[in-house]
Amino acid sequence: MKYINISTAVLVVSIFSSTVFAEEEPKNLKEVMQRIEVNMSKIVGHIMREEFSDIAIAAEKVAVHDEPPLSHRLKMIAELKTDFPDFKSHDDDVHLNSVAMQEAAEKKDLKSIIESYGKTLQSCNNCHTKYRKRIQKLKF
Ligand code: HEC
């Protein structure tokens, strides 16, 4: 009886962890982007309701977002070559501006939250206009 319980527990744990793992590993950059989009959209609603701790949580998720698989990152570097540092700098801009948004949320400073939200969104768009088509050619 004891053994049955243990094996049942192991089975439950392994099903649970494989589900969690699947959610943690985005399959490509598009999926990374869709997750960032979800958090950016949530922030708009939280701004309207002045839900500062929820803004801070979502802004942190934007700041420390997932990465695409290593093999994809290597292909991006190979495609972009000397443009890669510029591509990366747009991601750094997203990081800095979303960290500023998180800090503003912790201070309940709505004006700064909205300013840094705007700067974050601008950083998203700067990368899209320059690099989206080039990355899409890689067909991940
Ligand atoms: C360093 C460059 C870069 C930055 C910064 C960036 N993106 Fe993207 N994003 C891309 C690329 C490249 C694609 C195209 C991916 C593809 O179609 O395979 C994309 C696509 C998208 C898409 C479309 C996904 C789909 O379903 O087709 C969304 C939504 C998106 N990004 C949201 C964001 C948001 C929100 C931010 C800022 C918080 C952001 N991105 C910042 C490079 C970037």
Residue 20 has what pLDDT?
A: 45
Give the number of C-alpha atoms closer than 13 A to the C-alpha of residue 115, restricted to the C-beta side: 7
Domain spans, the chain = 26-136
Q: Atom 16 of ligand 1 has which residue's CA nearest to it?
A: 30
Residues in the chain, total: 140
Separation of alpha carbons 64 and 126, rounded Å:
19
Q: 74, 66 in Cβ contact below 8 A?
A: no
Q: How far is the CA of 69 from the centre of ligand 1 (A)?
A: 15
pLDDT of the residue at 71:
96
Ligand 1 pocket, Cβ-based, cut-off 6 angstroms: 29-30, 33-34, 36-37, 40, 62, 87, 90-91, 94, 120, 123-124, 127-128, 131-132, 135-136, 140
pLDDT band for position 14 (50/70/90)?
A: very low
Domain 26-136, CATH homologous superfamily name and number: Cytochrome c/b562 (1.20.120.10)
Proportion of the chain above pLDDT 70, given as a percent? 84
What's the pLDDT tens digit per position in 34-89?
A: 999 999 999 999 999 999 999 999 999 999 999 999 999 999 999 999 999 999 99
46 Rama class: left (phi>0) / alpha (psi -120 to 50) / beta: alpha
Residue 24: per-residue pLDDT? 76
pTM of this prediction? 0.87
